[in-house]
Amino acid sequence: MNNETNQPTTTFGIVGFPLSHSLSPLIHNSLYKDKGMNAFYQVFETREFDRSIVWELQKSGVSGLSITIPHKERAFALADQADEPSQIMKASNTLVLKKDSINAYNTDGEGAYRSILEWSPESFRRGKTLILGSGGSARGIAYSLATSGNISELILCSRNENTGKEICSLISENSSTKAVFVDPKEIFSYCEEISLIVHTTPLGMKGQAPGPFIEEEFFDSSMTVFDIVYNPLETPLVKAAQNAGAKIIPGSEMLLYQAMKQFELFTGVIPDSTDIQKTRERLSVALANR
Q: Check: CB of residue 146 under 8 Å from CB of residue 175.
A: yes
Alpha-helix runs per DSSP H in the chain: 24-34, 51-59, 72-78, 84-89, 108-119, 123-126, 136-146, 161-174, 236-243, 251-267, 273-288
Could you give the angle at the alpha carbon of 62 between the alpha carbons of 61 and 64, nearest 5°? 150
Q: What per-residue confidence (pLDDT) applies to 190?
A: 95
How many CA within 13 A on the CB side of residue 290?
17
Closest by CA position to 85, among listed 128, 145, 134, 131: 145
pLDDT tens digits in sequence order for the chain, 290 residues long: 344 456 789 999 999 998 888 899 999 999 999 999 999 999 999 999 999 999 999 999 999 999 998 999 999 999 999 999 999 989 999 999 998 899 999 999 999 999 999 999 999 988 999 999 999 899 999 999 999 999 999 999 999 999 999 999 999 999 999 999 999 999 999 999 999 999 999 898 888 888 888 989 999 999 999 999 988 889 999 999 999 999 999 999 999 999 999 999 999 999 999 999 999 999 999 998 87
In order of start, what are the domains of the chain with their CATH numbers?
10-106+255-272+280-289 (3.40.50.10860), 109-252 (3.40.50.720)
Question: Given this model, what pLDDT does residue 6 score?
Answer: 62
pLDDT value at position 140? 93
CA distance 168 to 73: 16
The binding site for NADP(+) comprises: 84, 133-137, 228, 251
Bridging pattern class, strands 128-132 and 194-199: parallel
- Please provide residue 75's backbone torsions phi and psi, each rounded to the nearest 5 degrees: -60, -45
Annotated binding site: 22-24, 68, 84, 93, 108, 133-137, 228, 230, 251, 258
- Of the candidates 153, 282, 160, 174, the one whose C-alpha atom is nearest the C-alpha of residue 230 is 282
Helix (H) / strand (E) element for 198: namely strand 194-199
Output the pLDDT for position 1: 37
Active-site residue numbers? Answer: 72
Q: Is 154 exposed, middle or buried (0-12, 13-18, 19+ CB in 10 A)?
A: buried
pTM: 0.90
| Dist. CA 209–CA 260, nearest whole Å | 29
- Tell me phi and psi for residue 160, to 5 degrees: -95, 100
Binding residue positions for shikimate: 22-24, 68, 93, 108, 230, 258
So what's the pLDDT on residue 181? 98
The whole-number pLDDT of residue 173 equals: 95
